[in-house]
Amino acid sequence: MSIKAKLPSRLHHTAYTSRDLEATRRFYEDIIGLPLIATWCEKDELFGKERTYCHCFFGIGDGGALAFFQFANEEDQALFAPKIAATPFHHIALNVDAHTQAGIEKRLTEAGYTAPKFYVLEHGYCRSVYAEDPNGMICEFTHDHEKVEEINAIRQKDAHSELKRWLGGDHHSNNMFRSEANTAH
């Protein structure tokens, strides 16, 4: 018998490492527009050694945050800060409205960002602006299609059968919305 658990209410924060917290702050606060809402300077006994680090939080609209650590000791930084692969298939995506997305695009352009560090994709079900942060992490700023509730209902209804189909070797696209969006622009 399956017990239905209550879902988490929101993302509290997601944490990454940074080689340069000031460059990270400039990107997220000055260009993207996420306010720096907390800086914790800490020293803890972690994994058998005293570690000194700074932990910065950048606020998102639902009360959650993107958080970044930088270690004072280079050995700790090397140990806990693995290289982030700058690939569009490893990223964080934040939902934005059209006005916010346009502002982010404008500020990225004004700051000199160009492909491949900044690009736009029309997915059909959403429009996405991708940007690489100073740490090599890809951030996506997504604006949903105006019919997002209808589109989500379609995909929710067949989510399990579509996964089973794809895993079974039938790899045809089920995104009937992409071509509509791409022909509109």
Q: Over the stretch 21-53, which tens digit does the pLDDT of each residue have?
A: 999 999 999 999 999 999 999 999 999 999 999
pTM for the model stands at 0.86
Residue 1 has pLDDT above 60, yes or no: no
Q: Which amino acid is at 158?
A: D
Q: What is the DSSP string of 47-71?
A: TTEEEEEEEEEEE-TTS-EEEEEEE
Structural fold of domain 84-185: 3.30.720
Mean pLDDT of 16-23: 94
The token pair at 42 is 């800490």
Q: How much is the pLDDT for 85?
A: 74
Q: What is the DSSP string of 88-135?
A: TTSEEEEE--HHHHHHHHHHHHHTT--TTSEEEEE-SSEEEEEEE-TT
Q: How much is the pLDDT for 179?
A: 65
| Domain-wise residue ranges, the chain | 9-82, 84-185
Q: Over the stretch 52-93, which tens digit does the pLDDT of each residue have?
A: 999 999 999 999 999 999 999 999 999 998 777 767 788 999
Count of alpha carbons within 13 angstroms of residue 90, beta-carbon side: 9
Q: Which residue has the higher pLDDT, 8 or 104?
A: 104
84-185: same fold as 9-82? no
Whether domain 9-82 has CATH 3.90.1170.50: no
Q: How much is the pLDDT for 2?
A: 61
Q: How far apart are the first and last CA of the chain?
A: 49
Q: How much is the pLDDT for 95?
A: 95
